[in-house]
Amino acid sequence: MTLKEEFATRNFSIYGQWLGVLSMILGFALGIANIFTFNVLIIIFCALLLASTLIILFIEVPFLLRICPTSSTFDGYVRMISTNYMRAAAYGVMALIQWLSIIPKATSLIAEAIVMTLTALCYLLAAVKHQEFVGSKTLGGAGVAQMIV
């Protein structure tokens, strides 16, 4: 199945997965860009964002759990975030943290908060519509994801 065919399925979990990848890339870039401010609270929010991007990497690209040396505790937590509801909740919490970064000072971290919120909404829509989680084949879904979970 090509990427175009995946998007044509109208399964919101695929939209959420690709928004998650966008969120990971954007989060890494914005976390690095904003960490060099002189505001201690913004630096803390950037550090939390960089930690979130690593978590998103393992959530959205499940193949990495097989090839990267991680602890069994971390693997267990990542495997818990396998349903659409759990993914929506995880992204909702990460988005809330980034929305809270507006309190000390408005920065470009707002863009990450918006993308994470959209990702959480996509996963929530997939869960409410009772759509099965379908991993993108491009990101290691299909047969690979089932081996891991």
Q: Is residue 2 part of a domain?
A: no
Mean pLDDT of the chain: 84
Say what the pLDDT of residue 22 is: 93
Q: Is residue 113 part of a domain?
A: yes
Query: What is the average per-residue pLDDT within 144-149?
Result: 44
Q: Is residue 123 part of a domain?
A: yes
Q: Max CA-CA distance within the chain?
A: 47
How much is the pTM? 0.84
Q: Is residue 6 part of a domain?
A: no
Q: Which among 56, 40, 22, 49 is positioned nearest to 108, based on CA atoms?
A: 49
The one-letter amino acid code at 38 reads F
Q: Is residue 20 part of a domain?
A: yes
pLDDT by residue (tens digit) across 85-110? 999 999 999 999 999 999 999 999 99
Q: Is residue 3 part of a domain?
A: no
Q: Is residue 71 part of a domain?
A: yes
Share of the chain above pLDDT 90, in %: 50
**Res. 72: pLDDT tops 80:** yes
Q: Is residue 4 part of a domain?
A: no
Counted domains in the chain: 1
pLDDT by residue (tens digit) across 106-129? 999 999 999 999 999 999 999 998
Residue 38 structural domain = 11-148
Say what the pLDDT of residue 148 is: 44
Query: What is the average per-residue pLDDT within 52-73?
Result: 84
Say what the pLDDT of residue 74 is: 84
